[in-house]
A and B are shown apart, each in its own frame.
Chain A
Amino acid sequence: MILEELKEAVIEGDRELVEELCQKVLDEKINPVEAVENGLIKGIEEIGRLWTDGEMFLPDVMMGADALKAGLDILGPELSKAKAAGDAKEGKGKIVIGTVKGDIHDIGKNIVAAMMTAAGYDVYDIGFDQDAAAFTNKAEEVGAQIIAASALLTTTMGEQKELVDYLKERGLRDKYKVIIGGGPTTQGWADEIGADGWAETANDAVSLCNKLLA
């Protein structure tokens, strides 16, 4: 059964197999909404469960999230049509994530992005060394609810404040929840710059998003 195969391929983090199966979904005109909701998503949910139980590790989650993304990229156009027709469920929420300007550290950010994906969010990762405008433009473009900015250096933390100020200056501050993280950051820093939240670990970041969008 292809739905079961899709689920297993995501759990295995087998990107190539997911791509192959999704192509088959298109070729054989299988319902794409079914393929996503009862195939791909079931896989990422299982990963989330195994992770919570301590039976999965980071590579499992990150490769699973990659495989899911690859599948969604292929089924995306068909899925949009279905969504427009009101046949598919909306996701949990949209998050734009990136590492701030002047900072090239992105492993922690990648982990957080994968965890958010595994938790059911649509995650738009803009990469590292990104300025306030890049975060904002992406958020505007995709209609995100949350902007997440990472900084690993004491010298680049200031860019998180820049982001908050940039949104304020453009009258967009209330449109988004801004959350921050990274080695030298603290709840105190988040409060000081007027961010909506701070998380120390990837798990905490997901809980924070759940709380902010509840």
Chain B
Amino acid sequence: MSKVTLKVLTDEDIRQIHNTSLQLLQEVGIEVEYEPAVEVLKEAGMRVEGRRVFFDPAYVEKKVAEAPHDFTLYARDPKHNVHIGGDDVAYVPGYGAPFVIDAGGNRRPSTWEDYMNLLKLAHMCEEMDLSGGMLVEPNDLDDRTRYLDALYAHIRYSTKCLMGSSYGADGARDTVELLAPVFGGKDAIKEKPVVITLINTISPLKLDARQTGALMEYAKWKQAMVIASLVMAGSTGPATLAGALAVQNAEVLAGITLAQTVNPGTPVVYGSASSITDMRTGSVSIANAEAALLTASTAQLARFYGIPCRAGGGLTDSKTVDGQAGYESALMLMSPVTAGVNFILHTAGILQYWLCMSYEKFIMDAEIAGVIRRFKRSIDVNENTLALDVIKKVGPGGHFLTQIHTKRNHKTEMRKPVLSDRQSYEGWSKEKLTTEQQAARVWKKMLAEYEDPGLDEALQKHLQEYIEARKREITK
């Protein structure tokens, strides 16, 4: 295990939460609003009343143990393959916001142009391990078919791994149909997962038809999924964090059990976006001490089950790229990375509790994520790094700037900032740029430097034809 490991719960705490979740699954059950899922679980021996499925604790434990401890997601360019699990952390851009906030704080509905810009930034940005999923809602495209445009864009304009559509069984099927020809066919992708999809439960204690339909379809093709719960402590879950975790855990275990029932060995990630309710307004608040605790304890729970984990992100309730956005996002990235979370959705770009994306925030979060990834790597202690010889050589009162040891080691030991200003006052005061202004320069330069990775012409044509045919079917 990594040397940097934040723990907020004892082993006994974890066991109590686990037991409470099993009790909830057995005694209260989960409302499953998708008939095929109810059938599959019934066949597996679960007690069913209407749509309420009561899970047998021994069965849940057995099924959860069948999920892989870690897995690799395969990218169009193998250098972007991503290992999910162990001590690794994968950073993934913000997901699903219907608004963009421009520099200066002006909010507007997001568009397809924003989608493409953010996709290019995700592809270019070194800190992002995946190109992401629904980067923003393209409000100017037909909402019935926009997921097809989004999938095509990821395949066509980035060579990093992507996230699939959770738009029911149809969305999942389309995702598989579009990706299979790019990766050597359906049999090939069954062996090597090429897509990971966010499947959300409905808190408290529900699985809805759309997400569950997608879950079952992806499991059939053994494609990876993040099965995530979002309990808002105080409204969609108990106000006490332990109780909120018990609810979250029951939902996620139910989802994982279903996936492993459909197809044992399907790669899944234990996910949480749980947070608290602001008790004055009823709004979700996603960046605070309680959320950071829920995030870290989720990592511990996932480790207890031996499954990779998703939680946290560059999260904030702030409406602009300001001090609050900075300190909240830093906390909400520090907690998961140091606690051992493996997959961080919403790493970059989020403002106003997931509702908004910001280009400038994207750049700031990537910087925070880079700093924290470096922190997680900890301190290598060995003969070279202890540097006894060079310290002897320099001796008292000397300096290390002209030592070959310094020249050789500083680049790997010290992360160089992309955004942070380290100039003198005089240097900074020439332009007096704020973080937001500086970040705007960075993303504009990145977009200007984007290079099209290309895609085989025949394949492009095939994918486009498939999409056109599907669009005709869906909109007819």
Contact = CB atoms under 8 A, between A and B. Distances in A.
Nearest to A111: B282
Given A104-B202, A183-B355, A184-B98, A154 B137 contact: yes
Contact of A154 (B139, B208, B235, B279): B139
Interface string B128-164: 0000000001010001000000000000000000000
Contacts of A57: 279-280
A202 B139 contact: no
A93 interface: no
Contacts of A154: 98, 137, 139, 143
Given A107-B235, A154-B143, A54 B280 contact: yes
Nearest to A155: B143
B98 A58 contact: no
Contacts of A120: none
B282 A58 contact: yes
Contacts of A104: 202, 208
Contact of B281 (A183, A184, A202): A202
B244 to A, nearest CB: 15
Interface string B92-104: 0000001100000
A57 B277 CA distance: 11
Interface in A97-152: 104, 107-108, 111
A108 B202 contact: no
Contacts of A186: 109
Contacts of A155: 143
A164 B202 CA distance: 29
Contacts of B202: 104
Nearest to B281: A201
Contacts of A59: 234, 279
Nearest to A110: B282
Most buried by A among B143, B234, B280, B282: B282
B139 A58 contact: no
Nearest to B353: A183
Contact of A202 (B143, B277, B282): B282
B309 to A, nearest CB: 27
Contacts of B139: 154
A104 B236 CA distance: 13
Contact of A58 (B109, B208, B279, B355): B279
A101 to B, nearest CB: 15
Contacts of B277: 58
A58 B137 contact: no
Contacts of A107: 232, 235-236, 282
A171 to B, nearest CB: 30
A143 to B, nearest CB: 29
Contacts of B137: 154
Interface in B231-273: 232, 234-236
Interface string A178-191: 00000110100000
A111 B280 CA distance: 10
Most buried by A among B232, B236, B277: B277
A58 B236 contact: no
Given A104-B208, A184-B98, 10 more contacts: A54-B280, A57-B280, A58-B282, A107-B235, A108-B282, A111-B281, A154-B137, A186-B109, A201-B283, A202-B282
Interface of B: 98-99, 109, 137, 139, 143, 202, 208, 232, 234-236, 277, 279-283, 355
9 contacts: A57-B279, A57-B280, A58-B282, A59-B279, A104-B208, A111-B282, A154-B98, A183-B98, A183-B355
The 3 closest A-B pairs by CB, nearest first: A57-B279, A111-B282, A184-B98
